[in-house]
Structures are given as C-alpha cells and as structure tokens.
Amino acid sequence: MTEQDRHLEEVKKQAFSDYAKYINPMKVRTLNQAGIHIMEGRREGAAVWDITGRKYIDCQTGSGIMNVGRHNPEMVAVLKKALDSLDIGVFLFFSEQKANLAKKLAEITPGEDLNSTVFGVGGGEAIDAAIKLARGYTMKTEVIYTEKAYHGHTGFALSAIGRASYREPFEPLIPGFKMVPFNDIEAVRNTLTDNTAAIIVETIQGEGGINIPSDDYLPALRTICDEHETCLILDEIQTGLGRTGKMFGCEHWGVVPDIMTLAKSLGGGIYPISATIYKEEMQDFFIPHPFIHLSTFGGSDLGCVVALAAIEYIQKHRLCENAEKMGQRFKAGFDGILDQYPQLLLEVRQKGLMMGLQYTNESIGPRMTKKFAERGLLAVYAGTDSSVCRFMPPLTITAEEVDFILNVVEDAMQELSKEKGISSED
C-alpha cells in the first residue's frame, strides 16, 4: 500500500465516522454489512470509482437518476455555461429557461393534452403537487394507491406509500388514502367511490421489486378513471425518460394519464429538478388560485437548462433504442443464468433497462449484493422486497459492460450455490 493509498483509506475512515456521528449511524452500519460501503470518487459513464480507486459498474444509479450516464461531460458543460449568466432564478418571475423546458415536456409526453407543468425539486414534491391538483380539480378527496408502491416521503406521497413501516410511525397521515394490491383491477373497482379524486400508480413498480403489470392493467385503470371522472396519476419518476426502452413507461400500453410525474433522471445526474405534467384542461384549477402551489427552488433556471439538455441528449443519442437493445442482451444472459440456477432464481423481470432478478428467498438479496460488490458491480436488492435485485444501469451502457455484469452475476451465483443453507439438499 502506497502513502497515497493509506491517506485515502484514512480520509474514508474519517468520513464514515463523521457520517455515523453527524448524519446517520444505522445507515453506515447497514451499508457496511451489505458490503457496499463505498465512498464515491470519480464517476464516468456506467462506472464509479471508490475514492480508494476501486472501480464498480453502477446498476444502482440512485434508482435511476443516471439515465445519461454518470458525470456526463455534456451535462457538465451545459451547467458550467449556464452559470456564466444565470443563477437559480426567482420563482415569482418568468424565465425563458422554465418556458423552454415546459414546452419540451409538452412535446415529448404522449397524447395531445399533457401540456401544462408544475415544477418541483424532487420526486416526492412532484407527487404532492399531482395529488393536490387531482383533489383540487375534481373537488373529491379519496386517493387509491397500491401495495408496495413507492412515491416518496413527503406528506401526500408518504400517505400513498405501500410499505407500512414507512407510514406507520407518522400516522395519522392524510385521510382518504386507500391501498389496493398492484395489478388488481377488481380491487380498484371495489374500492372506488364517487369521491375518488385519483388513482396513483407507477407504470412499473421500482422499489416494490420491478413489478411489471399485466397488459390490460393500465388501460383498464384509464377506462375506470374516465368512467368515474377520477384522475389517473402515473408516477414515471423511475420509468420515465427512456428507462424502459420508450420515452415513458406508459407508452408500452398506449395509456395517457391525466397527470404524470418526473424527477430523478430529469436532472441529468447533476442538478435536482422534478415536474408534474398535467392535462391542459386542469389549468382551470389555477385560475382562481395562481399561487396555490409554490416551490422556491422548483424549476430553477439552472435546473431547467440541465433538464432540457438531458432530454435532448436522450433523443440525440437514441438512448431509448439502446435501452431496448441492451435490455434484450441482459434478458438473454439472465434467462441463461435462470436455467442454470433454478434453486436460486425464480424469475427475470425486464422492460428495457428496468430489470430485476427475483431470487427464491429474501436472504439471497443481501448476500448477492455483497458478492456483486466484491466483483466490482453495484446492484442492490429492492427497498420493499429484498428477494428482488434491481439492475438499473445508465442507458448509455455498452455491450461489453453488459457482458461484464452478466459474468459477475453468473460467477456470484455459482459461488452462492455452493454455500450452506442455499441448496435444497442442505
């Protein structure tokens, strides 16, 4: 070990100890146990280096923040240039940057009517705005959400989160929220009343374990919402902006929501911004209340410049097509591994580069995450279902990187298959 290596190890040790003392000791312990106690240094494309120099291919990507790749030089250049003349901007006034981004979002979202946008900073805020808008516009109060859903930890979003351990410590939450199983149309029909303002779902559940709905689910929700003057809110915070092989997840099923939320990759991996895009007719709600939903930093001028550049990058570099193509390559590899290790793997879930491996039991998730990290791969089990490992690499990923990941997964599976307590003969 060189002097420099020793120094970096010391820096890392000190930062962990400060993190534990001043931020969150349990997070440090948990990440240590999971073998993913990395401290991010250099970032480039699909790769990230620990400050001590160890390279990882990143399939965690903050659950899909990095669609354009890590520390994308074009994004960095755009932000640097914007800083020559802009700051965050004052939310009360108009700006060309906000107008340009809102216009672009209207252009790329499906259907003719998703033309209006409220900006925010993060995903939870975008969900809060969506639910407020649905309630305010319909003058109804109930909201139907799904088991294992993840929409963020702010007020309305937390009330719609499908995991009891996140919700319960803060109850009573906002009244009128009713949970139904995901992908169950009958349950929605049985729960809906004349007072249902909105049904909110992710087009594919991310934190819940890459749950892909059956083909009739989203179209049926659309029909139900139309019949009952209820808003369909589609949370595209993970699935949007090319992740699934199309610009938006809902395009796989030809469904246009009344309200769509975007965040994560909208910021190009370098600047936080979110958007709640809604049908133009719902603008009516804002006529008597132009200042009813405000966010000081939401849709900052800098964020809007970066977001516009991120969308243009996805289009220019055909990242939807790459997501579809690389997704197929992953699927072929994962299917082969599934055939080899049926005692460890139950299912491969995949739409573009939104992918999950369903293990045969929950204990396998953390064990595999650790083995992956030892082999230079970051892929972490889902927040709400540790029997599923999520793979959400940047959409810029290359065939060589896909093959590297597949080799790591196969090698880790092989090692795990020999361990005690795994095979049915143990």
Ligand X SMILES: Cc1ncc(COP(=O)(O)O)c(C=O)c1O
Residues that bind ligand X (CB under 6 A): 63, 122-124, 127, 150-152, 202, 206-207, 235, 237-238, 263
Number of residue whose CB is nearest ligand X: 123
Q: What is the closest distance, in whole angstroms, from the C-beta atom of residue 368 to ligand X in the complex?
A: 21
Beta carbon of residue 127, minimum distance to ligand X (angstroms, whole number): 6
Nearest CB to ligand X, comparing residues 263 and 416: 263
Strand order in the sheet with 177-180: 114-120, 274-279, 259-262, 231-235, 196-202, 142-146, 177-180
User: Of 276 and 387, which CB lies nearer to ligand X in the complex structure?
Assistant: 276
CB-CB neighbours of 188 under 10 Å: 22
Compute the distance between CA of residue 123 and CA of residue 263 in angstroms, rounded to an integer.
5
**Least distance from C-beta 13 to ligand X, angstroms?**
29
Q: Torsions phi, psi of 162, nearest 5?
A: -90, 30
Nearer to ligand X, 151 or 367 (CB): 151
CA-based radius of gyration for the chain:
22
When the beta carbons of 127 and 247 are compared against ligand X, the nearer one is: 127
**Structure token pair of residue 97:** 């940057």
Q: How far is the CB of 62 from ligand X (least distance, A)?
A: 8
Structure letter (DSSP) for residue 289: -
Compute the least distance from the CB of residue 397 to ligand X, in Å: 20
Closest by CA position to 263, among listed 278, 250, 284, 277: 277
Return d(Cα 220, Cα 223) in angstroms, integer: 5
- The residue (of 188 and 275) whose beta carbon lies closer to ligand X is 275
Among candidates 65, 69, 24, which has minimal Cα distance to 319?
A: 69
- Backbone phi and psi for residue 147, each to the nearest 5 degrees, phi listed first: -60, 140
Minimum Å gap between C-beta 336 and ligand X is: 29
Residue with Cβ nearer ligand X (236 or 401): 236
Decide if 52 contacts 257 (C-beta within 8 A): no
Query: Would you call the peptide bond into 394 cis, given omega within 30 degrees of 0 as the criterion?
Result: no
Do 388 and 354 contact (CB within 8 A), yes or no?
A: no
Q: Which one, 150 or 217, has the nearer CB to ligand X?
A: 150
Shortest separation between residue 154's beta carbon and ligand X, angstroms: 7
